[in-house]
Chain A
């Protein structure tokens, strides 16, 4: 019964999505970096850790991003770091969105004491400066991997998503079409999947994008302090080494500018995309 209006809505979204500048620009930037992360290591012969060239060499035709203090290829490190960054964003952001979705949805849909209890939980996790907590936990573990870092981030970043999803669930729950479904004796699970979930899709997508960006930032910060993965590279680790090995006084800017710029560009593009998506999903915001 609800197929036609759903299809129309999806087509309407697609129509506006194609025309939204913010969405297009943001997506283009992300795509660029994704492609770079995917094929980057193929563009250079050098391993990120190999001592490939002269020390602290500025960018040249041979080393596009120059070399580090140890003579390593900055570009090689950069593309490997990009991969790590995207992974952390996806896993950490994804986990946070999933937890947030579960908590927020259950709290909003069930209401009552479950809602209260989940609210208290959410508020507590919100108030605790989770970064300090992350520091300490990360310090506990002697060997850390990228996956562990993502999981930790996901476990502490979910309250944002939980709140937003709970609010949306509350407003949807009291809408007429849900009442209608209830009155027609639809099973609760079916109601959730066929009536509520499609309307939540837009929120989930936007929440995921925000969490993705947030996870990247948190990971970069952890890495910079030295509490990131113990092996491997990430953009944050590159910056850490740069500062530790005197990139500032030596003026080897090509070592620390690209990683941070990439993060700022990626996260900024994500936020921008989000604004565009909001306009696509919310007719009121569309500019005529």
Chain B
């Protein structure tokens, strides 16, 4: 499978104007790749993932193309996207804990969902049960109501449901945020298991927790204020980042074993800009330690090293 996103631009309509939540997102994903999408709250990662599967008001499509497995996805056409949803592209949403109808038994809901999508629920049932075993869920959950399950169990159940039709691309939005650390590890590993067992082809893991990405992601995409900052293989982004923002982000992470009376824990001074009327050019320049005059132009997202994309004039210059 392959995913290619070109210049995807999506704004939010509000009473006070358009919030420019995503600008010119361009990247691609290879078959079997697990890409992490990281950044501060409000950087546009959920906007990007929603744009790929459910672009509904107040989101407004401005421009861009999305090509999945050679087919162009009509992301701006809510109804047109339906035949791809669940079957080619699927999502484990941020609100997975509440994603299931509280007054329906889980098995019944799954059955009704499948039927409504023209799928023979009976034939899928044995596979569903196999998947439950894969995520270590008792088959009895199908007879239970969502409220009878713990947070982690609900998360895993939604993961099973979302991937039931073996979609090419799975969007996993903050799937570990609401869990305790040991469950986080288990869920993250299940995700990799899905890819390894060829249940899904590629995964985009959206999170603000870079440590998870370090464990399971093949590549990481860093976003800032609606713009793409850097994308590269995990090792590279973590150990030799090139974008100033990524560098500050990595160094601001607490390190295990480091004592903080010795090495200070530093945040990044300042705040991300409001996207209602964002600054021109690179949106990080007001907090960037190496910003210069060229930064008032939007830096292109260029491949400076093999498979390593950076949107920074400084870095582009040093490459030349």
Chain A residues engaging chain B, CB cutoff 8 angstroms: 16, 19, 286, 288
Give the chain A neighbours of B57 by CB distance below 8 A.
Answer: 288
- CA A140 – CA B13 in complex, angstroms? 61
CB of B15 within 8 A of chain A?
yes
- CA A286 – CA B15 in complex, angstroms? 9
Ranked 8 nearest A-B pairs via Cβ: A288-B58, A288-B13, A288-B14, A288-B15, A288-B57, A19-B15, A286-B15, A16-B15
Could you show 8 A-B contacts with beta carbons less than 8 Å apart?
A16-B15, A19-B15, A286-B15, A288-B13, A288-B14, A288-B15, A288-B57, A288-B58
- CA A252 – CA B287 in complex, angstroms? 77
In the complex, residue of chain B having the shortest beta-carbon distance to the beta carbon of A286: B15
- CA A16 – CA B16 in complex, angstroms? 11
- CA A16 – CA B14 in complex, angstroms? 12
- CA A266 – CA B14 in complex, angstroms? 32
Task: Name B's interface SS.
Answer: loop
In the complex, number of A-B residue pairs with CB atoms less than 8 Å apart: 8
How many residues in B have their beta carbons less than 8 Å from beta carbons of A? 5
Give the chain B neighbours of A286 by CB distance below 8 A.
Answer: 15
Q: Could you give, for residues 1-30 of chain B, a 1 whenever the CB lies within 8 Å of some chain A CB and a 0 otherwise?
A: 000000000000111000000000000000
In the complex, residue of chain B having the shortest beta-carbon distance to the beta carbon of A19: B15
- CA A16 – CA B57 in complex, angstroms? 20
Give the chain B neighbours of A288 by CB distance below 8 A.
Answer: 13-15, 57-58
Give the chain A neighbours of B58 by CB distance below 8 A.
Answer: 288
In the complex, residue of chain A having the shortest beta-carbon distance to the beta carbon of B60: A288
Q: Among residues 19 to 60 in chain B, which have CB atoms less than 8 Å away from a CB atom of chain A? A: 57-58
Give the chain A neighbours of B14 by CB distance below 8 A.
Answer: 288
Give the chain A neighbours of B15 by CB distance below 8 A.
Answer: 16, 19, 286, 288
In the complex, residue of chain B having the shortest beta-carbon distance to the beta carbon of A16: B15
Q: Could you give, for residues 60-103 of chain B, a 1 whenever the CB lies within 8 Å of some chain A CB and a 0 otherwise?
A: 00000000000000000000000000000000000000000000
- CA A140 – CA B14 in complex, angstroms? 58
- CA A288 – CA B57 in complex, angstroms? 9
- CA A136 – CA B13 in complex, angstroms? 57
- CA A170 – CA B58 in complex, angstroms? 31
In the complex, residue of chain A having the shortest beta-carbon distance to the beta carbon of B58: A288
- CA A286 – CA B14 in complex, angstroms? 10
Q: Among residues 203 to 240 in chain B, which have CB atoms less than 8 Å away from a CB atom of chain A? A: none
How many Å from the CB of A204 to the closest CB on chain B? 26
Give the chain B neighbours of A16 by CB distance below 8 A.
Answer: 15
- CA A19 – CA B15 in complex, angstroms? 10
Give the chain A neighbours of B13 by CB distance below 8 A.
Answer: 288
How many Å from the CB of A80 to the closest CB on chain B? 43
- CA A216 – CA B57 in complex, angstroms? 40
Q: Among residues 170 to 208 in chain B, which have CB atoms less than 8 Å away from a CB atom of chain A? A: none
How many Å from the CB of A61 to the closest CB on chain B? 47
With A286-B15, A288-B14 known, 6 other A-B pairs at CB within 8 A are A16-B15, A19-B15, A288-B13, A288-B15, A288-B57, A288-B58
In the complex, residue of chain B having the shortest beta-carbon distance to the beta carbon of A287: B15
How many Å from the CB of A5 to the closest CB on chain B? 15
Name the residue among A19, A286, A288 with the largest chain B CB count within 10 angstroms.
Answer: A288
- CA A16 – CA B58 in complex, angstroms? 17
- CA A286 – CA B13 in complex, angstroms? 12
How many Å from the CB of B98 to the closest CB on chain A? 14
- CA A223 – CA B296 in complex, angstroms? 73
How many Å from the CB of A11 to the closest CB on chain B? 13
- CA A30 – CA B111 in complex, angstroms? 52
- CA A156 – CA B15 in complex, angstroms? 42
How many Å from the CB of A8 to the closest CB on chain B? 14
Q: Among residues 96 to 128 in chain B, which have CB atoms less than 8 Å away from a CB atom of chain A? A: none
- CA A19 – CA B57 in complex, angstroms? 20
How many Å from the CB of A202 to the closest CB on chain B? 19
Give the chain B neighbours of A19 by CB distance below 8 A.
Answer: 15
How many Å from the CB of B282 to the closest CB on chain A? 29
- CA A288 – CA B60 in complex, angstroms? 12
How many Å from the CB of B43 to the closest CB on chain A? 21
How many Å from the CB of A19 to the closest CB on chain B? 7
- CA A145 – CA B14 in complex, angstroms? 52
- CA A19 – CA B16 in complex, angstroms? 12
- CA A5 – CA B15 in complex, angstroms? 21
- CA A286 – CA B57 in complex, angstroms? 13
In the complex, residue of chain A having the shortest beta-carbon distance to the beta carbon of B15: A288
How many Å from the CB of A115 to the closest CB on chain B? 22
How many Å from the CB of A282 to the closest CB on chain B? 14
How many Å from the CB of A4 to the closest CB on chain B? 15
How many Å from the CB of A22 to the closest CB on chain B? 15
- CA A137 – CA B58 in complex, angstroms? 54
Name the residue among B13, B14, B15, B57 with the largest chain A CB count within 10 angstroms.
Answer: B15
How many Å from the CB of B89 to the closest CB on chain A? 26
- CA A60 – CA B57 in complex, angstroms? 54
- CA A35 – CA B14 in complex, angstroms? 36
How many Å from the CB of A46 to the closest CB on chain B? 49
In the complex, residue of chain A having the shortest beta-carbon distance to the beta carbon of B12: A288
In the complex, residue of chain A having the shortest beta-carbon distance to the beta carbon of B57: A288
- CA A72 – CA B57 in complex, angstroms? 58
- CA A16 – CA B15 in complex, angstroms? 9
- CA A104 – CA B10 in complex, angstroms? 45
In the complex, residue of chain A having the shortest beta-carbon distance to the beta carbon of B16: A15
- CA A117 – CA B58 in complex, angstroms? 46
- CA A187 – CA B14 in complex, angstroms? 41
- CA A16 – CA B13 in complex, angstroms? 16
- CA A81 – CA B295 in complex, angstroms? 71
